[in-house]
Structure 1
């Protein structure tokens, strides 16, 4: 799995989850528990992750939705 977005913004995470689920892109939100436990200091952002074989589709969906600035750098550097 690769990290698509890293953020503390739970509204943004909800939007991304909705977009990806609508397109049937599998996803996993990592670090949700530690982020909730640490409170609101923002030290541990949550990571929205997708399987590597769905990464290009997921990145395209988020760019098309105007969320390109939120994307983590891709492993290949593009």
Structure 2
């Protein structure tokens, strides 16, 4: 799995889940529960993970949707 976005914003997470899910890309949202418990403070952001094999496609879809600024740097 590769982390592509880290954010405390539940609306953004929902939008990304919907976007990638409709494209058939599996999404795992890590730390959703701790983020909710801690009132979404920045110290506990949610992390969006996708399979490594789908990361390039997921990044492209997110950028095409106008959300490219939210992407984490690519691993080299």
Q: Structure 2 length as normaliser, TM-score? A: 0.95
Matched, 1:34 2:49: no
Match of 2:18 in 1: 18
Gaps of 5+ in 2: none
Structure 2: distance between partners of 1:40 and 1:71: 19
Match of 2:56 in 1: 56
Aligned length: 76
Superposition RMSD on alpha carbons, in Å? 0.8
Structure 1 segments of 4+ aligned residues over 6 angstroms from their partners: none
